[in-house]
Amino acid sequence: MGYTTFMDLQLNSIIDNRDIEGPGRLASVNPAIEEEIASVSLLDRNGALLALEAADRAFSSWAATSVRERRRVLARWLEIMVSEEEELATLVSIENGKPVNEARLVDVAPGCATLSWWEANLERLLEGRRAVPDQLMFAHWKSGYRFDPLGVLSVITPWNYPVGIPMWELVPALAAGNTVVFKPASATILIGLRLAEMARRAGMPPGVLNAVALPGSASDVLLDDPRVAKVLFTGSVEIGRHVARRCAERIIPVQLELGGNDAAVVAADADIERTARGLVWGAFMNTGQSCASVERVFVERPAYEGLLDRITELTKGLKVGDPAQPDTDIGPMTTAEQREEVERQVEAALQQGARTQCGGKRIDGPGFYYPPTVLVDVSDEMEIMQEETFGPVMPIVPVEDIDEGIRRANASRFGLTASGWTQCTRKADRFQRELNAGAVTINEHGLTVCGEANACWGGVGESGIGRAHGEFGLHEVVNIKYVAQGPGNRNGEPWHYPYDEDLGRFLGAALPLLYQKGLRRYRGLGELLTTRHFRKRVRKSSLIRRIRQFF
Ligand code: NAD
């Protein structure tokens, strides 16, 4: 197809900063025209082992690199990404199918934002924190927290946001001093390899970020290898469960960012125009292939007809077509299998009595196109309402009141994001408190969370375990290490052997003094002062410093 004429594609895995070929081939396909873009060299298990070896070898020196040096690499990576943003967005559009403008908006911009935020905040985030011991017996100890890297991390990502998601996972992991074996999804392999190639140009030292073109079926080694300290997985519930089981076998931590069946609850007072626009975008952006897309809409009855009409009208006006054109709203789905799955779910709903307001039938011709589809007359028992529908489908349901909307929204195994739509602050507060999800937004769905590098991202229930992004995301990629250091008392500490009658008298007086309220706490003070433990083993200077704690 000649795509290589406008950009240099990275066709090999990158291990130890070297291009590594494997025994297999993987065709990358343009979903808009169903034609091969390029053929990538595919590794097998041995290739993955090479990557693990390289990451393991690089770990100790990368972990010892100054924060300043790591920031420098992130800054250069950002510079490259910004200056090549158009090319990167074009590659996203060609391989993933989303319109170029959308690729800039929801993939490249969040990728840049992540690099920028971590570069700016790394020093502050990784700086050790002092902890003041609460226990007076330890008052003379210097205590605090360190945020040390974990080791080699496996980062496994899906194809729906082939820049955004890898960057959300890779950047904090690398910034914190871990080394990584990164396995991008096969359907968007060129984009995944491209990110690693940019990092290499940015000066990422050899072995720190290794990107492997590896089929999912050969990826268990990234979970089982004893050198892997943690797995950051984003993908389906089915594979996520498999990943969690393997990690449980080795008792290593795992962060799971899985599916969603996100609900929007619309109050009768919502602004219809604003709500319709927000929901149409939230449901159909990225051709609905978002873990956090709007998948169920519950509308208070007085607003139902008006909102449905406006949503239908806006949906019919969306331009479905060539993602390379700047005025295309909806591109093709990324894979043929994904389109078949969506078709199957919609067909099943129609068989059970649902009706389409628009869409509902695949678009003929080359390309994995499926039109944005608005469904009514759906019931909660239908698969389309129970399961994640990874495609452009919006079922809309009238409800009697907000109570019913929230109850039905929460009746799900998933809980990634949710939204409430209202102009009333009291109702907004209710939505935020009562909707059961990892993030709840008012009058918008999703982007204000995943597009914000400082917001945390993650779900409840089967939507996953852990929180990526921002300050809380740091906790996923470090060993939060508590450290304590004392001058040490030559005569021993109060808790050291021997246990004797003097220790009994000491504790009998000290415990009320430390923990009882009112005057009764001082009843053993005189006794305390006479004990050998107090005289010889308690550091008086630290008690004086903390004297206020006794009153
Ligand atoms: P998937 O689970 O099929 O694949 C995800 C990744 O896992 C891919 O790289 C795949 O090659 C790899 N994989 C497959 N088998 C594996 C194995 N045995 N060991 C290790 N890795 C293996 O998911 P997908 O189809 O690529 O993506 C769609 C799913 O991802 C949807 O369910 C969507 O909701 C979810 N998702 C979740 C989030 C989130 O943040 N919660 C974000 C995006 C996508």
For 178-205, write each residue's pLDDT tens digit.
999 999 999 999 999 999 999 999 999 9
pLDDT at 56: 98
Q: Is 260 in the pocket of ligand 1 (CB under 6 A)?
A: yes
Q: Could you tell me if the CB of 13 is within 6 A of ligand 1?
A: no
Residue 498 Cα, ligand 1 centroid: separation in angstroms? Answer: 57
CB atoms within 10 A of CB 548: 6
What pLDDT is recorded for position 6?
58
Q: What is the 3-state secondary structure (H, E, C) of 441-496?
A: EECCCCHHHHCCCCCCECCEECCEECCECHHHHHCCCEEEEEEEECCCCCCCCCCC
d(CA 200, CA 210): 10
Q: Pick the closest to residue 77 from 209, 230, 180 (CA basis).
A: 209
Distance 551 CA to ligand 1 centre (A): 57
Q: Which residues are catalytic?
A: 257, 291
What is the four-CA torsion angle of 518, 524, 526, 530, rounded to 10 degrees? -150
Q: What is the pLDDT of residue 495?
A: 93
The answer to whether residue 1 scores a pLDDT higher than 70 is no
pLDDT digits (tens, 9 = 90+) for 145-161: 999 999 999 999 999 99
CA distance 44 to 253: 25
Q: Which residues pair with 266 in a beta bridge?
A: 299, 421
What average pLDDT score do residues 89-113 get? Answer: 97
**Which of 167, 214, 228, 234 for a ligand 1 pocket mutation test, highest count of atoms within 8 Å of Cβ?**
234
Mean pLDDT rounded to a whole number for the chain: 95
Rounded distance between C-alpha atoms, residue 342 and residue 387, angstroms = 11
Q: pLDDT value at position 9?
A: 96
How confident is the model over 359-401, as pLDDT tens digits? 999 999 899 999 999 999 999 999 999 999 999 999 999 999 9
Distance between Cα 157 and ligand 1 center (Å) = 6
pLDDT at 4 exceeding the cut of 90: no
The pLDDT of 114-121, averaged and rounded, is: 97
Sign of CA dihedral 328, 416, 118, 156: negative
Q: Is the pLDDT of residue 255 over 70?
A: yes
Query: In this structure, what token pair is assigned to residue 3?
Result: 């795509």
Q: What is the pLDDT of residue 363?
A: 95
Q: CB of 259 closer than 6 A to ligand 1?
A: yes
Proportion of the chain above pLDDT 70, given as a percent: 99
- Residue 239 CA to ligand 1 center (angstroms) comes to 7
SS3 percent helix, strand, coil of the chain, rounded to 5, is 45, 20, 35
Measured from the CB, is residue 464 less than 6 Å from ligand 1?
yes
Q: For the stretch 20-56, what's the b/e string if a residue is b when 16 or more beta carbons lie within 10 angstroms of its beta carbon?
A: bebeeebebbbbbbeeebbebbbbeeebbbbbbbbbb
**What share of the chain in percent tops pLDDT 90?**
89
Arithmetic mean of pLDDT, 526-533: 94
373 lines ligand 1 (CB under 6 A): no
Q: Lay out the sheet containing 142-149: strands in order across.
A: 129-131, 142-149, 478-485
158 pocket-lining for ligand 1 (C-beta < 6 Å): yes
Question: CA 420 to CA 444: how far, in whole Å?
Answer: 8
What DSSP designation does 58 have?
H
Ligand 1 centre distance from Cα of residue 482 (Å): 34
- Quote the CA–CA distance of 297 and 392 in Å, as a whole number: 13
Best probe residue, ligand 1, of 160, 191, 257, 286 (max atoms within 8 Å of C-beta) = 160
Q: Which residues does 105 contact at the CB level (< 8 Å), separation at least 6?
A: none
Q: How much is the pTM?
A: 0.96
- Is there an atom of ligand 1 within 6 Å of 169 CB? no
Q: How far is the CA of 144 from the centre of ligand 1 (A)?
A: 37
Q: Residue 548 in contact with residue 529, Cβ under 8 Å?
A: no
| H helix runs in 251-369, sequence order | 272-284, 301-316, 336-351
Other residues' Cβ atoms within 10 Å of the Cβ of residue 408: 17
Output the pLDDT for position 543.
Answer: 83
Average pLDDT over residues 512-531: 91
In sequence order, which residues have a C-beta less than 8 Å from that of residue 324 and are 6 or more positions away?
A: 32, 90, 93, 94, 100
Q: Is the CB of 181 under 6 A from ligand 1?
A: no
Pocket test for ligand 1, best of 26, 219, 223, 334 (most atoms within 8 A of CB): 219
> CB neighbours of 12 closer than 8 A, spacing ≥ 6?
19, 20, 21, 40, 41, 193, 213
- Dihedral sign from CA coordinates of 503, 506, 508, 511: negative
Specify the 3-state DSSP secondary structure of 545: helix
Query: For ligand 1, is residue 162 a contact (CB within 6 Å)?
Result: no
| Protein residue with least CA distance to atom 10, ligand 1 | 216
Helices (H), ranges, 262-317: 272-284, 301-316
If you take atom 42 of ligand 1, which residue's CA is the nearest one?
291
Question: 527 CA distance to ligand 1 centroid (A)?
Answer: 65
For residue 159, the ligand 1 atom closest to its alpha carbon is 26
160 lines ligand 1 (CB under 6 A): yes
* Distance between CA atoms of residues 284 and 295, nearest Å: 10
Looking at residue 541, what is its pLDDT?
86
Q: Is the CB of 156 under 6 A from ligand 1?
A: yes
Q: What is the pLDDT of residue 449?
A: 85
Are 312 and 394 in contact, with CB atoms under 8 Å apart? no
Q: Which domains does the chain have, with CATH numbers?
A: 13-257+473-481 (3.40.605.10), 262-450 (3.40.309.10), 488-550 (no CATH)
pLDDT at 551 over 60: yes
